[in-house]
Each structure stands twice: as structure tokens, then as C-alpha cells.
Amino acid sequence: MEKKLRFNSATIHGGQSPDPAYGAVMPPIYQTSTYAQTTPGGHKGYEYSRTHNPTRTALEKSLASIENGKHGLAFASGLAAMDAVMKLLSPGDEVISTHDLYGGSYRLFTKIFEDFGIKFHFVPMENTARISETINDNTRLIWVETPTNPMMNVIDIAAIAKVAKEHNLLLAVDNTFASPYLQQPLNFGADIVMHSATKYLAGHSDVVLGSLVVNDDSLKERLSFIQNASGAVPGPMDSFLTLRGIKTLHVRLQRHCENGKAVAEYLANHPGVEKVFWPGFETHPNHDVAKAQMKDFGGMLSFIPKGADYNAAMKIVEKLQLFTLAESLGGVESLAGHPASMTHASIPKEEREKSGVVDALIRLSVGIEDAQDLIEDLAQAIG
């Protein structure tokens, strides 16, 4: 039996071994769409690259390993991975989802899958009672994002897994914000863990890719079928870049967490800042859950400048020099965003504000630069 690796080794070696052809230490980029057969059907496990590609296989094994799961599946993007999960459902089925979730996820649910007869309920999940109240005979899936984007609420995965098991529902967790360095949802009883690997996993803002990891064999079979039948697969180059990113996930995340803490504490003490949303504060409403569920508190945070409106918040993000004003998160470089006009613009203002995404809210993805440089940049921008 293969020795089970600890996380900081799994990122580097999980599911990997030198390539059998020439001993290449990194899985080669198999830039090919097809594979020679000796007789019809006589091949070495690879027929066509939508179905399987050796570079993608290496990535899928790595993904499973770092999420402590059995099966990994890679997709062309995080949303393509979510799209595959939704295709497990049938018209008439209902989904209960975290209410303050990634804008693109909300758009996929409401603008694509609602038209196919799937019904979505968006509920705050910090209190599991809200989920139980919403379950009915048509409920099939619970979709959890934690920490939430951009409000940084933390949801108790184990508590929700218990509810899901009681009602025989699938539980899927979008683990993009935390990364498996901070939490491994399958360990808490989730059935599916999803990533926008575009963010922390790849980690260098140079690739768009998505993933799913599951333990159940029949669920894996169905998702593999959808992956091949719908065809939203990543190419070998993107698979390679993601594999390379994963090798330093644990070292990067350690620094993201240190810098996140330094920036959160700086902002919390700044007279020009009204509120900081970061689960590491003892005053954060879900701090206890975060402490129990997560290894550390991550590099994502949001804040509201004092007395700011839409335009004042825009001005602050425009003034930032070292923080780049951009969508996305989880790369080595620090990014700032204005959810109301950027990531969450596709959510109606009324819906947005219900979950706290006010016009003045600014979201930071704290990178791994020198924390003092980041703090000085925020100081000059907030004034």
C-alpha cells in the first residue's frame, strides 16, 4: 500500500511519479489530441484527449491527493466544474445554496439552470436551521461556499453534512477561498469539493481551470461521464501550470495567511476604516467555527472605509499602486476589487445588499509581497 503523505508532501508528490518514458520529474505536457492504436481499441489507456490526457491525469491525481479524496476531475474552469455538478440533477430538482456566493456561480444557477427547471433557494447558512426549513421532497443538493465571497462568513461544513446525510442530499463545497491547505471539506462529510483552481491552487494568475474531488465511485463515474460528454476539459498546458502551482501551495498559503493577518489588523486599527471582515478576529461572528474548521484564516478580507459611498470606494481602489485593481484572487500578487461594480455586479443591488455587499465594500486578496509595502500602499490610498 502506498504511504499516505502529509499535506506538505502531498502538494509535491501526491499521485505523482517520474514519467515512465524518460524519467521526467515533472509530468510532460502531452500536447496531443489523439493516440496511436496497434489494433482498433488496442491502446495504452489513452484514446482521445477530451476523455483522457496524461498531463491531465497527473493533475487529477494531485487534486485528489491534496483534498484527501479518492477521485479528482479537472475542468476548463471553475464554472465548468460547477456546470458538471448541476448536470447531476434533473428538472424539478431543488438546490439550497449559500446566499452570498461568487457572482458567477449565482449567474450560472439563476440564468442557466433555472431555465432547465432546477429551483434554487439562497439562504444564509451560518445557522443550519435555515437549511432544514428549506428542505422538501424535491431537494437534491446543498451548495456551500465558505468562507463566503466577499463577506467572509464561515459556514460549519460538518454541521451541514449531518443535515445532508439525514435527508440523503448531496453536499458540495466550493473550497476556492480557503484552499485545501486551510480546510478539506471531504473530511467534514462533504460529497463533492469544487475549486476554481484559477485562484490559490494554480496561484500565479496565469491559468483558468476548475476541479472536483469526490470519494464515491459511482458519483465519480457519473461526473467523468459528464466531463467527457459535455467536454469542458482543460488542455495539457493549463493542467501542467496548475500542477506546478500546487507544488508550492502550502508555502504560499502560509505567507498569504501571515500577510492577511497583518493587513486585517492594520485596517481594523485605521481611523478611516469602519469595518473589516476577516474570520481571524475574535469578534467575527463565526470565529469559533473558523478556528475549529480551518488551519488558519487565509489571505482574503473585505472592508468598508468610513463614511464612503460607491464613488469614494472606487477612488480608493483606483489610488492603490501595489494592489492591482482586478477581478480574481489567490495569486502571489495582491489584488483589490470593488464587488458592487465588479465581481458582484451581476447580482441585483437589492439582493447584493441583503447579504451585506454594500456599495462601499472593498475586497482584498492579500498576496505574498512584503506586508509592510502592502500596508503603506493601503495607507496612501485610504488617506
Ligand X SMILES: *Cc1c(COP(=O)(O)O)cnc(C)c1O
Which residues would be at the binding site for ligand X (CB under 6 A)? 77-79, 102, 104-105, 145, 149, 174, 176-177, 196, 198-199, 208, 210
- Closest distance between ligand X and the C-beta of residue 262, in Å? 23
- Closest distance between ligand X and the C-beta of residue 210, in Å? 5
Backbone φ/ψ region at 41: left (φ over 0), alpha (ψ -120 to 50), beta: left
Task: Spot the catalytic one: 174, 238, 296, 359.
Answer: 174
Nearer to ligand X, 174 or 377 (CB): 174
Cβ atoms of 180 and 7 closer than 8 Å: yes
For ligand X, which residue has the nearest CB? 78
- Closest distance between ligand X and the C-beta of residue 108, in Å? 9
- Closest distance between ligand X and the C-beta of residue 195, in Å? 8
Nearer to ligand X, 305 or 330 (CB): 330
Whole-number Å distance between alpha carbons of 366 and 374: 8
Task: Spot the catalytic one: 56, 83, 100, 102.
Answer: 102
Sheet containing 210-214, strands listed edge to edge, beginning at the edge strand earlier in sequence: 71-75, 210-214, 192-196, 170-174, 139-145, 94-98, 119-123
Q: Estimate the crossing angle of helix 78-86 against helix 217-230, to 10 degrees.
A: 110
Look up 217 and say whether it is catalytic: no
Nearer to ligand X, 16 or 293 (CB): 293
Cell triple for 344: 458582484
Q: How would you class 373 by CB atoms within 10 Å of its CB: exposed for 0-12, middle for 13-18, buried for 19 or more?
A: exposed
- Closest distance between ligand X and the C-beta of residue 87, in Å? 16
Look up 199 and say whether it is catalytic: yes
Cβ atoms of 337 and 326 closer than 8 Å: yes
Nearer to ligand X, 57 or 196 (CB): 196
Cβ atoms of 160 and 128 closer than 8 Å: yes
Look up 50 and say whether it is catalytic: yes
Sheet strands (E) in 19-149 = 71-75, 94-98, 119-123, 139-145
Task: Spot the catalytic one: 30, 56, 156, 199.
Answer: 199
- Closest distance between ligand X and the C-beta of residue 120, in Å? 15
Look up 174 and say whether it is catalytic: yes
Q: Label residues 40-50 b or e (16+ Cβ within 10 Å = b).
A: eeeeeebeebe
Closest of 263, 281, 253 to residue 153, by C-alpha: 281
Nearer to ligand X, 105 or 227 (CB): 105
| C-alpha angle 374-379-383 in degrees, rounded to nearest 5 | 155
Nearer to ligand X, 16 or 148 (CB): 148
Residues marked active site are found at 50, 102, 174, 199
